[in-house]
Amino acid sequence: MTSVPLTRDEHLPADWRDLLALTKPRVMSLVVFTGLCGLLAAPGPVHPVLGFTAVLCIALGAGAAGALNQWYEADLDAKMKRTAKRPLPAGRMSRQTALHFGVGLGVFSVILMDLAANHLAAAVLAISILFYVLIYTVWLKRRTAQNIVIGGAAGAFPPLIGWAAVTGDVTTLPILLFAIIFLWTPPHFWALSLFVRTDYANAGVPMLPVVAGVQSTRRQILLYTLPMIAAAVAPWALGLAGWVYGIVSVILSVIFLTLAFAVFTNKATEPKSMGPEKKLFGFSILYLFGLFAALVVDRWLI
């Protein structure tokens, strides 16, 4: 990895706002939401303070993973328009500060989870941080077009952690929730990578559109949508969730499939003509929010 050249600013102490930005707060919101839903969907009572702490630990763990990701990828971020203004590539913070902050936050989140919840939740949290940093960021991202496929597992852990924090075990439903996010990640990120592929190409990241081409990526998006839909509907089909989840998952999945098909039939190669891709990317976030919200509604209100 080539390091970012030292700038005069790197000798200044980091602003706390930049430390916050290092945790990728926007990405964290989806992680916190799915973790909270995993916690709320789990059977059995949870003390509000312990539940809050478990979700806080998931957020801190995600923040730590985000910080370590930015620490390692400072050189890549500097080459991409989308990420060039982050604290490290912009030279507002030293890499050592980012490393210390990320490691400290990660260790703290795991210890606190162990104290507040149980060993299993803390262990899965530790695995998720290590998976994101070591498997996805360090190993896969720069080496293979399958980076998103395998690396997607890192973002799929939060509902599993939330569930484990309440029950102390992992059963079929949390595994299905894991599978939903795992299978959702490729279509979600490939839709994005289609209209920012020049950025990835310039940075030398082997995202699928860069390596295999635009049409092949569109085909893969449609193909991955099918098992994702199967996983999304499975909790209801297996009797693990009620009719609210069933109806919501079917409706949202039909819309997702329609948008994925629109992407498949689109022949545009210029980002400005990639309306279907942008629509699918936007809807995919809503899709995940909708599924997990329906699961909680099913468990608590029906």
Q: Which residues bind another protein (CB under 8 A)?
A: 12-16, 47-50, 53, 56, 115-116
- Cβ partners under 8 Å of residue 150, min gap 6: 135, 136, 140
Shortest distance in whole angstroms from residue 115 CB to another protein: 7
Q: In terms of CB distance, is 9 or 169 closer to another protein?
A: 9
Shortest distance in whole angstroms from residue 15 CB to another protein: 6
Shortest distance in whole angstroms from residue 114 CB to another protein: 11
Q: In terms of CB distance, is 47 or 82 closer to another protein?
A: 47
Shortest distance in whole angstroms from residue 154 CB to another protein: 26
Shortest distance in whole angstroms from residue 11 CB to another protein: 9
Q: In terms of CB distance, is 50 or 222 closer to another protein?
A: 50
Q: In terms of CB distance, is 53 or 144 closer to another protein?
A: 53
Q: In terms of CB distance, is 17 or 81 closer to another protein?
A: 17
Tokens linked to 296: 């909680």
